[in-house]
A and B are shown apart, each in its own frame.
Chain A
Amino acid sequence: MEQRLGNTWRMTVNEKKFIESALESELRVDGRRPFDYRTLTIKFAREDGSSEVQLGQTHVMSFVTSQLVQPYRDRPNEGTLSVFTEFSPMADPSFEAGRPSESAVELGRIIDRGLRESRAVDTESLCVVSGKWVWSIRLDLHILDNGGNLVDAANIAALAALLTFRRPECTLGGDDGQEVILHPPEVREPLPLIIHHLPIAVTFAFIGEELMVIDPTHHEEAVMGGRMSVTLNANGDVCAIQKAGGHGVMQGVVMQCLRIASVKAGDITSKIKTVVESYKTERALRMVKRHAPSNAVDVNEPDQKAKQILEGQKLKSEECSVSQSDDMDVEQDRINKRSKKNRSFTGGPSSWDPYSEGVNTDELEATLASRGSVAVPMNLDNLGDNIRDETKSDEPLSDVNPVSSSTDTAGKEMSISREKTLQDAVKPKNKREKKKSSKIAAV
């Protein structure tokens, strides 16, 4: 008598016949049409760089981590990206723990190729010291439930994780200026990766002679004769095509698949972007809340007026006021210098155009002198970096930046008219930062 595992899934001839006959009338077993995707859910964990994707019954998790390593000899100023897949035995009875199976390796390769060949992740920005230290990004994919079409789900999970991942900021320092100092996230805000575009994988299953479906389920995969995955982005660039054996298809069919896939890629890209944006705003809010309770009393008044003027750019003004109060603790002796500078500063960055008005040389000398004389405190730099980073990257908060500068302008104008109090000592901080950042932007 044979002793076999009772939980192995077996296919009946009835099912095979039925799937094919239903497809002839353009029906799929779960009620979808041939070119419909299942419902896609993308979730994030508290940590940066981890995502969980559910595509129908398929469940995939992805984690991104980074490490400083030595670069490859032939690419001394580029970081590296490596993809690891783990097919957990809880996902499917046919998955075994231990060495990755052929399909696991294939999945990893498809995702890796989609990201690497198309240069979606900017590796040159990952270089710290050319030839010595670069960032190595490691992407781990865990398959939790195999409901079919692992490639697409894993790809979306990988992209979502990469978009929300942040690596620690590091600067050069030490005795010889060659040591790399890693800053913990509490000290300096970690930086996101630079991702140029999103390569989306779309999988087609060929069933029978002429039938083709998108996003096959586990049962459809057992019945299909061949499979093809195309990776392309929302701009219509084809990043990769994978067709490993199976049923042969005509070239016309391949072109048709590419056309359909580009439409689907557009949908999925917009879905990923929406979810990532809401995660980022939530994350920023979370960071603000950490400081809010201790400073609520002090900065309420200027805050209110700012809010009235802008009507609801709450996020950024809170953040500004919070950082103001942070810096209040740092030094009091430079307040006079700053207030002097304030009076000569006539407008925010939005109205200041160096090419038409020219640079005020006295002002410039004053700022350079003050910058050189005192050791710049960490918080100040943090704020400056924050603003600089946000102007560089394409985050949603970047469009709030010009708003924040007008907050400052508005706040400034109010403060000049009133009697000088400690509040004014706080305000100038922002203007100085704005000026500093605007100078950087101009230069």
Chain B
Amino acid sequence: MDPKPSMTFIDKPVDHDTITVIKAGILRFSEPNKYWIESSHKRFIPTVGDTVLGIVVDKRADSFFVDIKGPMVAFLPVLAFEGGTRRNIPKYEVGALIYARIVNANTGMNPELSCMDASGKAAEFGLLKDGYMFESSTGLSRMLLSSPTCPVLEGLGKKLAFEIAVGLNGRVWVNAEHPSSIILVANAIMNSESLTPVQQKIMVERLLDRVN
């Protein structure tokens, strides 16, 4: 998953060849000529193609209303599931946690979600059962999704078995066998946002030592 090149963040005055930055964050570069600013917020601006974790807040005849931490509530069409027909509409209650993809995000309109990937397959999208979901910032989500794997997840993965779903809207879901593992993983991730990779490794090691 690549962050988008932030052409919209750069203000280019007409006369000169200079670039002015108007947003605070880390400047990133990718070959051959892509620069962008990465910043971390608690707010999420929906963009097409992002995978997010949403909470069902209401149900209508043709779609679910899902909150994705954006300025507007998104809607998930009832048929946007693999093999979805009018007969097998999923029954999601209010408060259910959904892993979905944004297909449409025009400003001023409610974003549209889908529980299928581009080719129409389910691909892990859909309802997330059990586990624990916590909210953080968009920067943390991006860090958790970066490749190579970020040190926190690597360190935790060596000792614990857990399942994790990261939404780009700042929501993370963790599931494991034992509540203690879940709590451990969740707290480790929450603490790791502002730490460097080395610090993250040390923090995870200390945490695991303390527990065992």
Interface string of A1-37 (1 = CB under 8 A from B): 1111011101111111110011001011111000000
Residues of B within 8 A of A8 (CB): 67
Q: Which residue of A has the minimal Cβ distance to B184?
A: A31
Query: In the complex the two chains form, what is the Cα distance from A2 to B74 in whole Å?
Result: 9
Q: Which residue of B has the minimal Cβ distance to A13?
A: B95
Interface string of A21-55 (1 = CB under 8 A from B): 11001011111000000000000000000000000
Residues of A within 8 A of B71 (CB): 6
Query: In the complex the two chains form, what is the Cα distance from A100 to B201 in whole Å?
Result: 47
Say whether A21 contacts B179, CB under 8 Å.
yes
Shortest beta-carbon distance from B174 to chain A in Å: 10
Of the candidate stretches B32-40, B129-137, B139-147, the one touching chain A is B129-137
Query: In the complex the two chains form, what is the Cα distance from A216 to B97 in whole Å?
Result: 24
Residues of A within 8 A of B69 (CB): 6
Residues of A within 8 A of B179 (CB): 18, 21-22, 25, 27
Q: Which residue of A has the minimal Cβ distance to B68?
A: A6
Q: Report which of A3, A14, A25, A28 forms a contact with B173, defined as CB distance below 8 A.
A: A14
Shortest beta-carbon distance from B84 to chain A in Å: 21
Taking CB atoms and an 8 Å cut-off, the chain A residues in 370-396 that contact chain B are: none
Residues of A within 8 A of B65 (CB): 2
Shortest beta-carbon distance from A18 to chain B in Å: 4
Query: In the complex the two chains form, what is the Cα distance from A10 to B69 in whole Å?
Result: 10
Known A-B contacts A2-B65, A18-B179, A25-B179; A12 and B96 likewise in contact (beta carbons under 8 Å):
yes
Shortest beta-carbon distance from A39 to chain B in Å: 14
Known A-B contacts A14-B130, A15-B133; A1 and B70 likewise in contact (beta carbons under 8 Å):
no
Does B81 make an interface contact (CB < 8 A)? no
Say whether B132 contacts A13, CB under 8 Å.
no
Residues of A within 8 A of B73 (CB): 1-4, 6
Query: In the complex the two chains form, what is the Cα distance from A16 to B97 in whole Å?
Result: 12
Q: What is the size, in residues, of chain B's interface with A at 8 Å between Cβ atoms?
A: 32
Say whether B96 contacts A3, CB under 8 Å.
no
Residues of A within 8 A of B132 (CB): 14-15, 18, 29
Residues of B within 8 A of A7 (CB): 43
Does B203 make an interface contact (CB < 8 A)? no
Interface string of B153-165 (1 = CB under 8 A from A): 0000000000000
Say whether A27 contacts B57, CB under 8 Å.
no
Residues of B within 8 A of A18 (CB): 130-132, 179, 182
Q: Report which of B75, B133, B183 forms a contact with A31, defined as CB distance below 8 A.
A: B183
Known A-B contacts A2-B58, A25-B180, A29-B183; A11 and B130 likewise in contact (beta carbons under 8 Å):
no
Say whether B72 contacts A14, CB under 8 Å.
no
Say whether B182 contacts A14, CB under 8 Å.
no
Interface string of B94-121 (1 = CB under 8 A from A): 0111000000000000100000000000
Residues of A within 8 A of B122 (CB): none
Query: In the complex the two chains form, what is the Cα distance from A431 to B101 in whole Å?
Result: 84
Known A-B contacts A2-B73, A12-B95; A27 and B128 likewise in contact (beta carbons under 8 Å):
no
Residues of B within 8 A of A22 (CB): 179-180, 182-183
Size bracket, chain A contacts: 20 to 34
Known A-B contacts A14-B131, A18-B131; A31 and B95 likewise in contact (beta carbons under 8 Å):
no
Residues of B within 8 A of A16 (CB): 95
Say whether A10 contacts B67, CB under 8 Å.
yes
Taking CB atoms and an 8 Å cut-off, the chain B residues in 176-209 that contact chain A are: 178-180, 182-184, 186-187
Query: In the complex the two chains form, what is the Cα distance from A13 to B92 in whole Å?
Result: 11
Q: Which residue of A has the minimal Cβ distance to B98?
A: A12
Q: Which residue of A has the minimal Cβ distance to B135?
A: A9
Query: In the complex the two chains form, what is the Cα distance from A1 to B67 in whole Å?
Result: 13
Say whether A6 contacts B67, CB under 8 Å.
yes
Residues of B within 8 A of A6 (CB): 43, 67, 69-73
Shortest beta-carbon distance from B212 to chain A in Å: 15
Taking CB atoms and an 8 Å cut-off, the chain B residues in 41-73 that contact chain A are: 43, 55, 57-58, 65, 67, 69-73
Shortest beta-carbon distance from A214 to chain B in Å: 18
Shortest beta-carbon distance from B199 to chain A in Å: 19
Residues of A within 8 A of B187 (CB): 30-31
Say whether A1 contacts B75, CB under 8 Å.
yes
Say whether A12 contacts B55, CB under 8 Å.
yes
Residues of A within 8 A of B97 (CB): 12-14
Shortest beta-carbon distance from A27 to chain B in Å: 5
Say whether B133 contacts A14, CB under 8 Å.
yes
Does B93 make an interface contact (CB < 8 A)? yes
Residues of A within 8 A of B95 (CB): 10-13, 16
Q: Which residue of B has the minimal Cβ distance to A219?
A: B134
Taking CB atoms and an 8 Å cut-off, the chain A residues in 221-277 that contact chain B are: none
Residues of A within 8 A of B67 (CB): 4, 6, 8, 10
Residues of B within 8 A of A12 (CB): 55, 95-97, 133
The 3 A-B pairs of least Cβ separation, nearest first, read: A22-B179, A18-B132, A13-B95
Return 12 A-B CB contacts under 8 Å, by A number: A1-B110, A8-B67, A12-B95, A12-B97, A12-B133, A14-B130, A14-B132, A18-B182, A21-B179, A25-B180, A29-B132, A30-B187
Residues of B that sit less than 8 Å from A by CB:
43, 55, 57-58, 65, 67, 69-73, 75, 93, 95-97, 110, 128-133, 173, 178-180, 182-184, 186-187
Residues of A that sit less than 8 Å from B by CB:
1-4, 6-8, 10-18, 21-22, 25, 27-31
Q: A2-B58, A12-B55, A30-B187 are in contact. List 6 more A-B contacts (CB 8 A).
A: A3-B72, A11-B95, A16-B95, A18-B132, A18-B179, A29-B183
